């Protein structure tokens, strides 16, 4: 069978165009996911009825931001490990402490534990555990 060189070259160009199109689609989907990061406002208070419903059944994603709103000087937000969270223990010295009253925490992939480290506040319900996919 006779083949022209142009046919072969045309197929190669078409394959390259399809590959470029696929890469563009994948790239835009990834950008759309990144752009879809959400901000979740948390009324950081003693009431577990206010805090816990946010985490129960909610799907968070890496890149989402938690906005903790509270009265500075009366509360704080401390990211702790699971053991400290479970027992409402004293946070380790290296723990990240937020105290502005309007704290933004951008989630990374994995489990996150937050407590208020003021005496008795964690045991009164000021704690939240969140998983970010």
Task: Determine the average pLDDT of the residues in 64-91.
Answer: 96
Q: Which domain holds residue 69?
A: 39-132
Mean pLDDT for the stretch of residues 27-32:
48
Q: Which spans in the chain are helix H?
A: 5-35, 48-55, 82-87
The domain that contains 94 carries what CATH number?
2.60.40.420
User: Do 7 and 71 reside in the same domain of the chain?
Assistant: no
pLDDT in the model for residue 116: 97
Same structural domain, 9 and 56: no
pTM more than 0.75: no
Q: What is the pLDDT of residue 49?
A: 61
Q: Say yes or no: 62 and 100 in one domain.
A: yes
pLDDT given at position 58: 80
pLDDT at 72 over 80: yes
pLDDT at 4: 54
Q: Are residues 32 and 57 in the same domain?
A: no
Q: What are the tens digits of pLDDT across the range 104-115?
A: 999 999 999 999
Higher pLDDT, 53 or 30: 53
Residue 45 confidence (pLDDT)? 85
Give the pLDDT band of residue 63 (cuts 50, 70, 90).
very high
Angstrom distance (rounded) from CA 80 to CA 78: 6
């Amino acid at each position: 069978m006779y083949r022209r060189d142009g046919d072969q070259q045309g197929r190669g160009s078409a394959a390259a165009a399809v590959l470029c199109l696929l890469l563009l689609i994948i790239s835009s989907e990834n950008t759309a996911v990144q752009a879809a990061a959400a901000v979740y406002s948390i009324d950081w208070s003693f009431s577990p009825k206010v805090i816990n419903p946010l985490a129960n059944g909610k799907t968070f994603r890496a890149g989402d931001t938690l906005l903790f709103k509270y009265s500075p000087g009366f509360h704080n937000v401390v990211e702790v490990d699971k053991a400290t969270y479970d027992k409402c223990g004293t946070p380790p010295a290296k723990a990240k402490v937020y105290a502005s009253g309007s704290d933004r925490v951008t989630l990374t992939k994995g489990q996150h534990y937050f407590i208020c480290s003021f005496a008795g506040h964690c045991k009164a319900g000021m704690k939240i555990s969140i998983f970010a996919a």
